Amino acid sequence: MNISGNTIFIPGATSGIGLALALRLRDRGNTVIVGGRREDRLMTIATEHPGIRTMRIDTTDTDSIDEASRAVVAEHPELNVLITMAGVMRVEDWTTPSGFLATAEETVTTNILGPIRLIAAFIEHLRAQPDATIMTVSSGLAFAPLRVTPTYNASKAAIHMLSESLRLQLSGSSVSVLELEPPAVRTALMPGHEENEAAMPLDEFIEEVMSLIESQPEATEIQVERVKFLRYGEARGDYDQVVATVNRTDPHGR
C-alpha cells in the first residue's frame, strides 16, 4: 500500500486506532472518509478535523452497508482503499450460556460478518481500480489467547485466515490485502484500557504503523515490534510462555 495519494474509506473509525490512523493518513495526502453509526460523533469529527469526510454506516446492518457503499462510491469514484476497522471486545464467561452467548453473537456479527459484508460491498469497485488495497484488522490475540475474551480471540484469528485466503484469491489482480495486527493499545476498546500501562500508547503505535506502511509498501502484514511476541510464539517454540505472560500481565488487553 502506498502511503499517500489514496482515497480511503475506514468504517468504524470514530475513535481509537481507527480515528488516529485516519488523521495520520489524511496528513500524508490521502482523501479519507470515516464511517460510523453515530451522527453526532461524525459531525464532531468533521468539525474538529478539517479535510476528513464522514459517512454514516452500521457494519452490523446489511442494508446500512449497502447504502453507505453506494454513497461512498458515488461521491468518491476514485476510492481505492478499504480499511475494515470496526470491532468490539467483550469479557465473557463460557461456563454458562448467560455469560457469553449474547456477547459472542454480537462479536461475530461485528468482527467477522462486518468485514465480510464490507468486502462484498466494495470488491467489484476495488478490482476495477488500477491499484487498490483491502486492509483488515486482526490482533495479537489472533495468535495467543486472552482467557477472558474467547470470542474476540476467535474472531481475530478468523480475520487473519480470511486475509490469508483472500490474498490468495486476489493474487495477480490489482487488489492487495494488508493485515494490520495490533498488540494491546491504549484505547477505549474495553473499560479502563486507556490507562492500561501494559498496553502500547496509541500515538506510539500509530507512528510505528505509518513508518512501516511507508517503508514496506509491498508488505502483507503490518506488525509493530510489540506484537511479534504474540505473533511468533508458536514459531519460536515458547507459545505456552507467551500465553501465560499475556494472561498474567494484561487481563484486559487486546
Distance in angstroms (rounded) separating the CA atoms of residues 191 and 198: 14
Cβ–Cβ under 8 Å, residues 34 and 45: yes
152 catalytic per annotation? yes
Helix ranges restricted to H, 28-149: 39-48, 62-75, 101-108, 114-127
Rg of the chain taking only CA atoms, in angstroms: 17
Cβ–Cβ under 8 Å, residues 189 and 89: yes
**Exposure on the CB side of residue 81, measured as CA atoms within 13 A:** 23
**Exposure on the CB side of residue 125, measured as CA atoms within 13 A:** 22
The CA-based angle 214-212-121, given to 5 degrees, is 80
Q: Collapsing DSSP states into helix, strand and coil, what is residue 193?
A: helix
> In degrees rounded to 5, what are phi and psi of residue 162?
-60, -45
Cell, residue 55: 459517512
* Buried/exposed 93-112: b ≥16 CB within 10 Å, e otherwise: eeeeeeebeebbeebbbbbb
Catalytic residue, candidates 122, 152, 205, 229: 152
Which residues are annotated as catalytic? 152
